[in-house]
């Protein structure tokens, strides 16, 4: 082989290496082969979400998505993140774990998203934890307070809301200390979500020397609440902690009222309180719901929190037919944290730099009088629980 031949082959090798590097991320000047920049191009950051957009939990997913997208649209109109627009790819899983698993595989392998975002529900989100770990992909802002997403600590699972354990503890403390109840029952969805709320209630009752006086359950996706209701009525419970969705919980309360059984009903935040209140109508008066964000209202007597005001204004701009809700406000807050992490990670963003950026967020002002903080080995940003009561069809904050 002559000198000219060796020179030509060397040029081919250089050209091949250049083409491989150029193609490692379509349309992007590469940072490094070793650093994961999947979903990042010159003009786009691709984010993926699987959530219920139809079926018996469709209200939750739709509200969550509207709140998140309202803020993301606002950021994109302002120029995006370091010149890149956020492209949120949302797939409907119908609150079904198997569909959620399939959607997540599609988002990671086919859509090639940079991060997962705004998943809705415990059974769906818990199902994809192995995929998240295998892909080493961040999952930001889940609409679930499940302990399985908090213990053991997993830096890829970025929880923003308070946990179900915190919500059920707040409820039990209220029942026992303030109301002086000693008969607390639990009505729960028979899956990971319901089991988590049941365990949280049992843990909260234990220091008082109490256990649930009755446990009633129903199968996810059904309205078969009668058997569980009969058990709880027989226990003469003074309060019922409810871990379910708005349709099943509304059915339970309606049937209980029909039988003149009126303990103090309490629902955790996942229930979708606004839809619950709508379905109950006048018979919902007095029902308690713990929340993880403040009420999405801006009247003179509501304090006009700037974060809430911005959410309502952006929702009105981008989704004028969608009314403000606790779920939507949570989606907006999730998007605020996603954007903050992407911004702090810098223009040469990687998944590892994004995770480090999330860990650097401390006492971040969301405009809701509840600063958010993360840190190494701390992947839950908010801790506060709010009490609301249904009054004349509206959710009123109990101060």
* pLDDT tens track for 340-387: 999 999 999 999 999 999 999 999 999 999 999 999 999 999 999 999
Residue 16: what pLDDT? 37
Q: What dihedral do alpha carbons 384, 385, 390, 394 form, nearest 10°? A: 20
How far is residue 93 from each of residues 51, 121, 165, 354, measured CA to CA in Å? 5, 10, 26, 27
Cβ pair 161, 196 in contact under 8 A: no
Residue 17: what pLDDT? 39
Domains of the chain: 44-162+303-384 (3.40.50.2300), 164-291 (3.40.50.2300)
Q: Which tokens in the block code for residue 42?
A: 């010159």
Give dist(CA 211, CA 204) in Å, integer: 9
Spans of the chain below 70 pLDDT: 1-35, 298-303
Residue 299: what pLDDT? 55
Residue 30: what pLDDT? 40
Q: Is the model's pTM score more than 0.85?
A: yes
Give dist(CA 50, CA 94) in Å, integer: 9
């Amino acid at each position: 082989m002559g000198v000219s031949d060796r020179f030509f082959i060397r040029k081919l090798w250089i050209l091949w290496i250049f083409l491989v590097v150029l193609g490692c991320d379509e349309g992007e000047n590469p940072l490094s082969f070793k650093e994961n920049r999947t979903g990042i191009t010159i003009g786009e950051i691709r984010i993926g979400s699987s959530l219920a957009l139809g079926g018996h939990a469709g209200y939750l997913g739709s509200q969550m998505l509207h709140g998140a997208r309202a803020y993301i649209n606002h950021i994109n109109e302002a120029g995006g993140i370091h010149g890149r627009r956020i492209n949120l790819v949302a797939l409907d899983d119908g609150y079904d774990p198997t569909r959620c698993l399939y959607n997540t595989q599609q988002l990671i392998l086919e859509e090639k998203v940079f991060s997962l975002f705004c998943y809705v529900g415990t059974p769906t989100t818990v199902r994809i934890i192995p995929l998240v770990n295998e892909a080493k992909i961040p999952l930001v802002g889940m609409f679930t307070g499940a302990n399985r997403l908090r213990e053991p600590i997993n830096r890829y699972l970025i929880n923003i809301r308070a946990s179900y354990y915190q919500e059920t503890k707040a409820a039990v403390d209220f029942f026992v200390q303030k109301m002086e109840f000693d008969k607390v029952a639990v009505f729960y969805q028979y899956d990971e979500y319901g089991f988590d709320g049941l365990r949280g209630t049992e843990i909260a009752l234990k220091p008082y020397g109490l256990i649930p006086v009755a446990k009633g359950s129903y199968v996810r996706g059904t309205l078969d609440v009668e058997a569980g209701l009969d058990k709880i009525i027989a226990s003469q419970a003074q309060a019922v902690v409810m871990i379910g969705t708005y349709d099943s919980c509304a059915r339970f309360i309606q049937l209980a009222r029909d039988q003149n059984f009126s303990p103090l009903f309490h629902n955790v935040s996942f229930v979708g309180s606004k839809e619950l209140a709508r379905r109950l109508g006048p018979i919902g008066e007095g029902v308690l719901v713990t929340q993880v964000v403040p009420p999405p209202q801006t009247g003179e007597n509501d304090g006009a929190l700037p974060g809430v005001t911005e959410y309502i204004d952006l929702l009105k701009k981008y989704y004028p037919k969608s009314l403000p809700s606790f779920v939507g406000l949570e989606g907006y807050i999730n998007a605020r944290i996603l954007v903050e992490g992407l911004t702090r990670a810098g223009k040469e963003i990687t998944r590892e730099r994004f995770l480090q950026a999330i860990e650097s967020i401390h006492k971040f002002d969301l405009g809701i009088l509840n600063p958010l903080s993360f840190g190494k080995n701390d992947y839950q940003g908010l801790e506060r629980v709010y009490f609301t009561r249904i009054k004349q069809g509206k959710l009123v904050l109990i101060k």
